[in-house]
């Protein structure tokens, strides 16, 4: 895949459901939803495919931000949304199937927000 086969569109949270719905109407399929912590912010990428070309819708949020579910548009999104909640601590409202924080069993709550420092090699939640 080359970079010209992939586009990233930065959107606001308020646009997420309508833009996702438009992607479905335009014939795209949901490939994945991924989350990455960047300092105090979290980037959430919604990746869609049509004819082997990827389009990413990206939102950037704080951990205490509530994001709307897109599982009403793409049913299977609930898997990614529960994962984002359990691993990053981001609340997703309106999921069609909400595991209530029990999708993953981890010894550390929200393990992907854990930081390790050289001075202290024990894991600490933020």
Span 60-82, pLDDT tens digits: 999 899 999 999 999 999 999 99
Strands 91-93 and 66-68: parallel
**The whole model's pTM is what?**
0.81
Q: What percent of the chain has pLDDT over 90?
A: 67
74 DSSP 8-state letter:
S
Asked if CATH classification 3.30.460.80 holds for the domain at 3-110, the reply, yes or no, is yes
Q: What is the pLDDT of residue 29?
A: 98
Mean pLDDT in residue range 37-53: 94
Tell me the domain boundaries of the chain: 3-110
Q: How many CB atoms lie within 10 A of CB 30?
A: 20
pLDDT at residue 21 tops 90: yes
8: how many CB neighbours lie within 10 A of its CB? 12
Q: How confident is the model at residue 6, as a pLDDT?
A: 85
Q: Measure CA 124 to chain center.
A: 23
């Amino acid at each position: 895949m080359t970079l010209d086969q992939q586009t990233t569109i930065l959107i606001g949270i308020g646009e997420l459901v309508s833009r996702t719905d438009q992607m479905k109407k335009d014939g795209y399929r949901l490939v994945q939803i991924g989350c990455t912590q960047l300092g105090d912010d979290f980037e959430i990428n919604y990746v869609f495919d049509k004819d082997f070309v990827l389009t990413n819708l990206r939102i950037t949020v704080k951990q205490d931000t509530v994001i709307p579910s897109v599982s009403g548009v793409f049913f299977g999104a609930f898997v990614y949304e529960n994962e984002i909640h359990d691993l990053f601590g981001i609340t997703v409202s309106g999921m069609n199937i909400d595991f209530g924080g029990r999708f993953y069993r981890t010894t550390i709550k929200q393990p992907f927000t854990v930081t390790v420092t050289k001075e202290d090699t024990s894991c600490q939640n933020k």
